Amino acid sequence: MQIPIKWHERFAGALIERQVIGESGAEVFRIRCDGGEELFLKSEPTGLPSELAGEVERLRWMKRLDVPGRAVPGDATEDGRHWLLMTAVPGLDLANANDLSSPQIVGMLAMALRILHEVPIAVCPFEHRLEEHIAAAKNRVNVGLIDEADFDNERQGQTATDVLADLLSTLPETYDLVVIHGDACLPNFMANGSNFTGFIDCGR
């Protein structure tokens, strides 16, 4: 892996392991430094539909609000790729927190989402309203970026156009605006024992 030049010396003796969980298209690496420090390095090609530059902004904004998550020691753009260096969040993600019962996981997930929902939208500089998501979905369908083989069982055999039409037929007439995670699945919520420790994968 060719990491940005400015980090070559810092990570010369580190163990760097590729992470395989997740479907964002980004490459993620765990860096175990000689002194025991653990960091994560995320990389995506520049250009659309890259979300990494936006994730840098969101993580730094969350840190200013004391929303639990990763800190950003650095970022870079080099050789046609964005790079994001992040601290580790203690514990395990909720998909792998085998010591927690299902009610504990549900309760922790609800509590974590409430942390975000209670952030006043007036202080959130990021726009991800429903209309923008619908426009992005239409664009991805139109340019052929949808993997129809990856649909859930209910939608197997349908085309991306079919699924989009179903989505458009069920849009809510009204909805509340809140700060959200954007990919609120169990692997993106961290816990150390029974304590929620932070959000990861915050590009949306």
Q: Is 38 helix (H, G, I), strand (E, B) or coil?
A: strand
Active site annotation includes 176:
no
Per-residue tokens: 138: 């239409």
Compute CA distances 143 → 88, 150, 166, whole Å: 36, 17, 19
E strand segments, the chain: 15-19, 27-32, 38-45, 74-78, 81-87, 92-93, 189-192, 195-199
Question: Which of the following is catalytic: 75, 150, 183, 201?
Answer: 183
Report the candidate in 67, 55, 58, 57 with the shortest Cα–Cα distance to residue 114. 67
Residue 110 — φ and ψ, nearest 5°? -65, -40
Amino acid at 141: V
Helices of type H across the chain: 52-64, 102-117, 130-142, 160-169
Give the residue numbers annotated as catalytic, written as ranges.
183
